[in-house]
Amino acid sequence: MTRTRFLLAFAIVLAALPQLPVPEFWITQANYIGLYALVVIGLVLLTGVAGLTSFGQAAFVGLGAYTAAYLAVTHGVSPWITVWVGLVITGVAAMLLGWVTLRMSGHYLPLATIAWGLSLYYLLGNIDALGKYDGLLGVPPIRFFAIELNTGRSFFYLLWALVVLASIAVTHLLDSRTGRALRAVRGGSTMAEAMGVDTFRVKVTAFVLAALLASVSGWLFAHFQRTVNPSPFGLKMGIEYLFMAVLGGVGHVWGAVVGAGMVKILVFGIVLVAVLQYARDGLWAFVESRLPRRERAVDWADAPALPERERPPHGEVVLDVQAVRKQFGGLVAVNDVSFQVCAGEILGLIGPNGAGKSTTFNLVTGVTAATRGEVRFRGERISGLPSREIARRGVSRTFQHVKMIAGMTVLENVALGAHLRGRHGVAAAMLQLDRGEERRLLREAERQLRRIGMAAHLHELAGNLALGSQRLMEIARALCADPSLLLLDEPAAGLRHQEKRALADVLRQLRGEGLSILLVEHDMDLVMGLTDRVVVMEFGTKLIEGTPEQVQASPAVRAAYLGTEH
């Protein structure tokens, strides 16, 4: 059974359910499952994909529900208007809350959302206009043209249509430029920022999207129950939503439906702890491992190529590092180091362990801020800019310790490198308006992978690759950004001899195209055979700069690597 057929069968069962002589009880259960699933789909996006935990989703449901109920009961506003009002209110609240908490490390968000969930509960329960703890009664049903959705069965269709639409939209979103950026923020922000992703903005986006889905669920909830009071929007329910996500499988959109169904039928804290200990990826992962894996269909073969950056003329100074200094407390890691990289040149940066090479790298790419001195890229000062802004100007890098998204395919990982060459966002991805651009991005990713000799691994999961291949993948990802300057941090570590030669050939070819490369590497054969000039560092200080021959002949370099005779 293919995946599409599986989903089709699911849709048919859903459509038929209210027409069958099923007792009303099960229709009501199914409606609750749908209401919960809508919230949990948001949590999948937030927690499963972006790695941010929220216990406060019930509060967002409450905002949507109370907005709908209050406007309908006291002002007689149509539900088709209140849903938008609710979305705006929830969106603003989520944006404020996210803006405050998402700059900090991961565990502050859950704590803040616990507090927020409690506050809102007590607030709703104490406001006179909202009926205090009794809530608001007599919410009218939703009218769909001439049909009044006042029975469980008629409501069922509106609700589940929205659930299915939301699932599909979120699935589309995950398979897009923004989706890759979302998945990249999970493992820390350094790599994502180096690829030009504004990680803070991506996190806020995920948080707001999850809140908006919750708000829609609240709107439906108010018109389904026909009454609202604070208790379904308290912290306990917020926690239960998270349980549903975890139980169903927090990384999977359809896990949301499974989880919501499971929790509606049974909920125990102990069950949750057991699931986490023995099946950390949740129940849907268990189902999915039994479904056939779908290999991505190649539909981008004829996509037009992405526009390329104009290369700087040969010999122009691309990177100009002027007396940069980095101090960590009393330790001087980089001591007033200066060097230049010209267009169409490979500059090697070598030195014994602890010489400050990686710190220099981080200073150039904006990961750490220099204590003093400045870095100029094509004449523009870039020191002090965030990583993603430096990436935008045409500086791309790889990492000494491979940073990738293990659960994504090689192709998708590499496409992340082209993040800045696309512009479509959340809405376009959900509505599939970004397909043309997506095809161009994927085509570029495939092209770079082929160039680096990894055509055979396109659809493999990145986590399954050998270390050497992972490093090559990082280079392809960096190339995808169409850089003018490429910074490679030990690219040959873990490669076999043949692979090293192939890598050297690719780098020479790139140099021929006018690219500048700054190379940190310990393999001296590779460095000496490939580079035009070499900078040697020791204890944070520049020891010598010259051609490979000059460096190899230098007694100072020998002393640095091998020590001196006394």
Partner 1 sequence: MDFTIAGILMLDGVTNGAIYALLGLAIVLVFAITRVIFIPQGEFVAYGALTLAMLQIGVVPGTVWLLLVLALLAALLDALKALRRRITASRVGIGAIKTLAWPALVMLLSLWAAPRQLPLIAQSLLTLAIVTPLGPLVYRLAYEKLADASVLVLLIVSVGVHFALTGLGLVFFGAEGFRNPSFWDARFAAGALSVSGQTLIIFIVSVALMLSLFLFFEHTLRGKALRATAVNRLGARLMGISTSGAGRLSFGLAAFIGALSGLLIGPTTTMFYDTGFLIGLKGFVAAIFGGLASYPAAAVGALFVGLLESFGSFWASAFKEVIVFTVIIPVLLWRSFQHGQVDEEE
- Using alpha carbons, list the distances in angstroms from residue 491 to 101, 189, 363, 533: 37, 21, 19, 18
CA distance linking residue 565 with residue 337, whole number of Å: 28
- Using alpha carbons, list the distances in angstroms from residue 429 to 170, 364, 367, 389: 9, 33, 30, 24
Tokens read off for 486: 């490429």
- The site that binds partner 1 (CB under 8 A) totals a number of residues, namely 42
Minimum distance between the CB of residue 470 and partner 1, rounded to whole angstroms? 17
181 within 8 A of 194, measured Cβ to Cβ:
no
**For residue 342, which amino acid is it?**
C
Based on the shown chain and the rule CB under 8 A, indicate whether residue 133 belongs to the binding site for partner 1.
no
Q: Taking Cα atoms as reference points, which of 217, 212, 90, 232 lies closest to residue 160?
A: 217
Nearer to partner 1, 243 or 284 (CB): 243
Rg (CA), the chain: 28
Based on the shown chain and the rule CB under 8 A, indicate whether residue 273 belongs to the binding site for partner 1.
yes
**For residue 196, which amino acid is it?**
G
Beta-strand runs (E) in 8-91 = none
DSSP string of 206-268, one letter each residue: HHHHHHHHHHHHHHHHHHHHSEE-SGGGSHHHHHHHHHHHHHH-TT-HHHHHHHHHHHHH---
DSSP string of 509-552, one letter each residue: HHHHTT-EEEEE-S-HHHHHHH-SEEEEEETTEEEEEE-HHHHH
CA distance linking residue 561 with residue 536, whole number of Å: 10
Minimum distance between the CB of residue 321 and partner 1, rounded to whole angstroms? 24
Nearer to partner 1, 55 or 155 (CB): 55
Nearer to partner 1, 263 or 415 (CB): 263
- 39, 239, 319, 487: residue in contact with partner 1 (rule CB under 8 A): 239
- 26, 80, 84, 122: residue in contact with partner 1 (rule CB under 8 A): 122
Based on the shown chain and the rule CB under 8 A, indicate whether residue 110 belongs to the binding site for partner 1.
yes
Q: 485 has which bridge partners?
A: 395, 516
Give buried/exposed letters for 90-103 (b at 16+ CB in 10 A, else e).
bbebbeebbeebbe
Piece of 96-104, 440-448, 480-488, 491-499 that binds partner 1 (CB under 8 A): 96-104
- 39, 58, 97, 478: residue in contact with partner 1 (rule CB under 8 A): 97
- Kindly identify the residues of this chain, within the stretch 5-44, that bind partner 1 according to CB under 8 A: none
CA distance linking residue 299 with residue 291, whole number of Å: 23
Tokens read off for 283: 């129940």
Piece of 119-127, 284-292, 349-357, 481-489 that binds partner 1 (CB under 8 A): 119-127
Minimum distance between the CB of residue 264 and partner 1, rounded to whole angstroms? 16
Nearer to partner 1, 94 or 527 (CB): 94
- 53, 57, 217, 229: residue in contact with partner 1 (rule CB under 8 A): 53
Based on the shown chain and the rule CB under 8 A, indicate whether residue 108 belongs to the binding site for partner 1.
yes
Consecutive H or E run containing 196: none
The three-class DSSP label of residue 138 is coil
- 7, 15, 114, 306: residue in contact with partner 1 (rule CB under 8 A): 114
Minimum distance between the CB of residue 38 and partner 1, rounded to whole angstroms? 21
Based on the shown chain and the rule CB under 8 A, indicate whether residue 547 belongs to the binding site for partner 1.
no
Sheet holding 317-328: strands in order across? 331-342, 317-328, 372-377, 380-381
Q: Taking Cα atoms as reference points, which of 345, 325, 489 lies closest to residue 403?
A: 489
Tokens read off for 70: 């209050």
- 55, 219, 224, 361: residue in contact with partner 1 (rule CB under 8 A): 55
Minimum distance between the CB of residue 190 and partner 1, rounded to whole angstroms? 7
Minimum distance between the CB of residue 198 and partner 1, rounded to whole angstroms? 12
Based on the shown chain and the rule CB under 8 A, indicate whether residue 111 belongs to the binding site for partner 1.
yes
Based on the shown chain and the rule CB under 8 A, indicate whether residue 126 belongs to the binding site for partner 1.
yes
Minimum distance between the CB of residue 121 and partner 1, rounded to whole angstroms? 9
- 104, 433, 455, 556: residue in contact with partner 1 (rule CB under 8 A): 104
Q: Taking Cα atoms as reference points, which of 57, 102, 65 lies closest to residue 82?
A: 65
- 20, 21, 76, 107: residue in contact with partner 1 (rule CB under 8 A): 107
Minimum distance between the CB of residue 2 and partner 1, rounded to whole angstroms? 33
Tokens read off for 357: 């090479």
Nearer to partner 1, 116 or 224 (CB): 116
Nearer to partner 1, 135 or 344 (CB): 135
- Kindly identify the residues of this chain, within the stretch 181-220, that bind partner 1 according to CB under 8 A: 186-190, 200
Nearer to partner 1, 272 or 317 (CB): 272
Nearer to partner 1, 246 or 319 (CB): 246
Minimum distance between the CB of residue 278 and partner 1, rounded to whole angstroms? 9
- 14, 15, 85, 118: residue in contact with partner 1 (rule CB under 8 A): 118
Piece of 268-276, 370-378, 416-424, 477-485 that binds partner 1 (CB under 8 A): 268-276
Minimum distance between the CB of residue 76 and partner 1, rounded to whole angstroms? 29
Q: For residue 494, with 0-12 CB atoms within 10 Å meaning exposed, 13-18 middle and 19 or more buried, which class applies? A: middle
Minimum distance between the CB of residue 467 and partner 1, rounded to whole angstroms? 18
Based on the shown chain and the rule CB under 8 A, indicate whether residue 406 belongs to the binding site for partner 1.
no
CA distance linking residue 463 with residue 411, whole number of Å: 12
Minimum distance between the CB of residue 224 and partner 1, rounded to whole angstroms? 26
Minimum distance between the CB of residue 104 and partner 1, rounded to whole angstroms? 5
- 129, 265, 266, 270: residue in contact with partner 1 (rule CB under 8 A): 270
Give buried/exposed letters for 519-556 (b at 16+ CB in 10 A, else e).
bbbebeebbbebbebbbbbbebebbebeebeebeebee
Based on the shown chain and the rule CB under 8 A, indicate whether residue 152 belongs to the binding site for partner 1.
no
- In the complex, the residues that contact partner 1 under the rule CB under 8 A are 47, 51, 53, 55, 97, 100-101, 103-108, 110-112, 114-116, 118-119, 122-123, 126, 186-190, 200, 239, 242-243, 246, 268-270, 272-273, 276-277, 280
